[in-house]
Structure formats: C-alpha cells, structure tokens
Amino acid sequence: MNTDPLRGRLFEMRLIDIYTKHSWLAQEISEKEFIKLFPVHYRHNKPLLPDKPVGFDLDKQIFLEVLVAFRQSFS
C-alpha cells in the first residue's frame, strides 16, 4: 500500500542521485534495478526502513546514503 506517492517519487529521485553520484554502479547494475533494490513497504500506513539488498554487494557508505535519503523523503 503506497500511502503517499509523492514521497515515494521523492525517494526514487534521491536514489537516482545516489546512483549517478557513484558512477561505478552503472558497471554493476542498471538505474532501474538499483531503484528496485529498495522497495518501500508499509506497516500500519507507515513506511518501513529498507533492508540492505540481498544478492547485491552494496557498499556500506552507499547503503547509509540510501537510509538518509529514505528518512529525508519520509520524515
């Protein structure tokens, strides 16, 4: 259930910024696949923090940037 599509889109835009900032990601994964690594799930109409992706070895720093982007988008 997506309770606020604008916030979801904002998070997606921030993920694109992270993807673009770390150009080496383009050698490993497409932009669309990168975004799909961080689906937004809701519990009781509140977004849950994304989990670290399984099956893709994501740098710790990049994952922290994703978490910050999530919190900024859904604060």
What is the per-residue pLDDT across 18-50, written as a single tens digit (0 to 9) for each?
A: 999 999 999 999 999 999 999 999 999 899 999
Q: What is the pTM of this model?
A: 0.89
* Contacts for 26 with CB less than 8 Å, ≥ 6 apart: 19
Whether the Cβ atoms of residue 24 and residue 57 lie closer than 8 Å to each other: no
Whether the Cβ atoms of residue 40 and residue 8 lie closer than 8 Å to each other: yes
d(CA 53, CA 23): 19
Cβ atoms within 10 Å, residue 15: 22
pLDDT score at 4: 73
pLDDT score at 18: 97
